[in-house]
Chains A and B, each alone.
Chain A
């Protein structure tokens, strides 16, 4: 039995969704029962005290963690989020309650064996509570004491061959969609690129050197299963530049009702028989599809590769064979100057090992932002302040119509002095010789 009354939290044990309260109580019971005779290195009742402080917050409608917290491991400037309870006498089990970010394998494939080792370590040196996973991607160990941090880090690196994730003004832990591992739309190996760039930029990840945080995310197609366009400063989104491959027999099978549209995603409701005209052709954003003699035709030159037709008819339509990715820059949450999604910088780049072209784009952006970025200014804000044109100049990318959704409507256009015959140095006397005052 937990050591405190938690009447408000107890209400969250009912209902069909898995209850975090029930799970935390189970963990509390397991710790008190000393299953497996673990020599707990932090208070046995850490879960009880966490439930206790949470119950208090439910009652008062206020958080009970102190401001900030600076803890870590030697050699690194991030990876651990320090946290202290503001009622340590009442809840000594969570007086320290630091979070450890552990770098996860790309797309989060695990073996039970590995997870078991992680859990053994965390039961022993932490609360046994986790977040699988943080929204950036990390495995999150929730709650331990300062003295345990180096111990955990030693164990992770020496026995589990596993490193910490990122925190602070640095490159945060990259993450990707599951890519080619089990998706027929993957236009590049998003896991491999995610892994390779994580390894390449370990220094930037572990030792904050940037004006502010910086995130990579890798989507293998425009469906955006890891939401890179919204949640990463540098977003890598797979695409192709040749033709969509059409299997006309399968198209006929869809039209004839033999294969359910969208892989059966809408089977929960009766939407009537599949209507190829209505559900595909009429919904194509560029209207570049049509039927001709019972065959589906696509004018690929006009296709923007939005994925809709492929999503509806996965067994009939396939991505092209000339594949690569687009790079978009600047996504961020609202603080300080408003939310942004990624803006298209590189329309198409090949994603082939050793990824030198991609690294060049990354490093050019970093060189610029590290020099020009203000304290706690995301790259998206630097772009707004200094202009998209500066970003193009520092990355050596020529401006092209694909860089804008629409041309500017105001006429406040800057010209470089060398572009204007005669330059900026003018003599008013010369002007007066032709125009009286």
Chain B
């Protein structure tokens, strides 16, 4: 597995750039990833999505369905793509440090 270094942090990631361990997440991970996910500036809306994903994951052990993400944050899917151009899975979940989405993707 590849290890990336950013501002003194070491992050172990897979080929798709997802964190190998949720526990390794810290705010600098977001700073490191954002560019490769097409994000220039992090706004409070980005943070709201990331925080909700993390809370949900800690409580439930899975990522929420898109519908639940939209409902709780109040952001329509279109807006989530405006915030995270590669979408809630590849973009937001990766930045939040959640495990890589699986299944017939």
Contact = CB atoms under 8 A, between A and B. Distances in A.
Nearest to B18: A70
Given A72-B86, A72-B87, A77-B88, A211 B65 contact: yes
Contacts of B103: 376
Given A69-B15, A70-B18, A207 B87 contact: yes
A371 B65 CA distance: 11
A232 interface: no
Contacts of B102: 67-68
Interface size band for A: 20 to 34
Interface string A354-387: 0000000000000000110001100000000000
Contacts of B78: 203, 207
Given A69-B16, A376-B103, A169 B86 contact: no
A84 B81 contact: no
Contacts of A209: 66-67, 77
Contacts of B90: 70-72, 77
Interface string B74-105: 00011001000111111000100000111111
Interface of B is mostly: loop
A269 B67 CA distance: 58
B16 A208 contact: no
B38 interface: yes
Given A70-B90, A77-B81, A168-B89, 16 more contacts: A68-B102, A70-B16, A70-B105, A71-B90, A72-B86, A74-B38, A77-B86, A84-B15, A167-B104, A167-B105, A169-B66, A203-B78, A209-B66, A209-B77, A371-B67, A376-B103
Interface of A: 66-78, 81-82, 84, 96, 167-169, 203, 207-211, 213, 370-371, 375-376
Q: Report the 9 A-B pairs with minimum CB-CB distance, sorted nearest first.
A: A77-B87, A74-B85, A70-B16, A74-B38, A168-B105, A209-B77, A84-B15, A70-B90, A68-B102
